[in-house]
Amino acid sequence: MLRPPVEPMPAQAAEAVPGPAAVRSGVAYEQKLDGHRALLFTASGPGGAVVVQTRRGALVQDRWPDLVVAAEAQLPPGLVLDGELVVWDIEAGRLSFEALQRRAATRARGAAVLAARWPAYFVAFDLLQHDGQELLTRPYAERRALLENLFSEHALTAPWTLVPQTTDLPQHGSGWSPGRTCPGWRGSWSSP
């Protein structure tokens, strides 16, 4: 069973999108949002707590009370999600990295006040543990299928979002340009 801190798989920058051979080998492309990388752990049993971990291993659930409450209400126990924390600016009608940074730096009562003003969303792109069973050694395609099933079985809605994915980037290419489908989108990344 995974317990924090867990080091998430790092993203690696590339100068160009992998060519057709990579696409044929099953590479999947996902949108990279302008947010903070995080792991979310649900309680593994009675009396357990929801934990939010940064990519550097800090535990920051006190800064995201809205996500903790939503996880307790909507997510099953023994789960570890890997994803991106983003904040929606209701007034501007877009993602706000500035609001995200303010939320990430605010604790206690201030965190609840900012949560009401700037709701947080967890954009999931990987499932590292399900029903208390670690999945890190399983192929990415299998973990993605389990993640998609989690979203459909539990009818997950806001603040939970499944990152868009395609295995046919040439087909979607121009529509997958940063900022085109979603303000605050920084680019794409691929997963084998």
pLDDT of residue 18: 64
Give the residue, 12 or 94, on which the prediction is more confident: 94
Tokens read off for 43: 């309680």
The predicted-structure confidence for 68-115, as pLDDT tens digits, reads as follows: 999 999 999 999 999 999 998 888 888 999 999 999 999 988 999 999
Q: Which residues pair with 129 in a beta bridge?
A: 80, 134
DSSP state of 164: P
Split at pLDDT 50, 70, 90, the class of 2 is very high
Split at pLDDT 50, 70, 90, the class of 167 is confident
Angle between helices 65-74 and 108-117 (to 10 degrees): 80
Active site residues: 32
Q: Which helix (H) or strand (E) holds 134?
A: strand 133-134
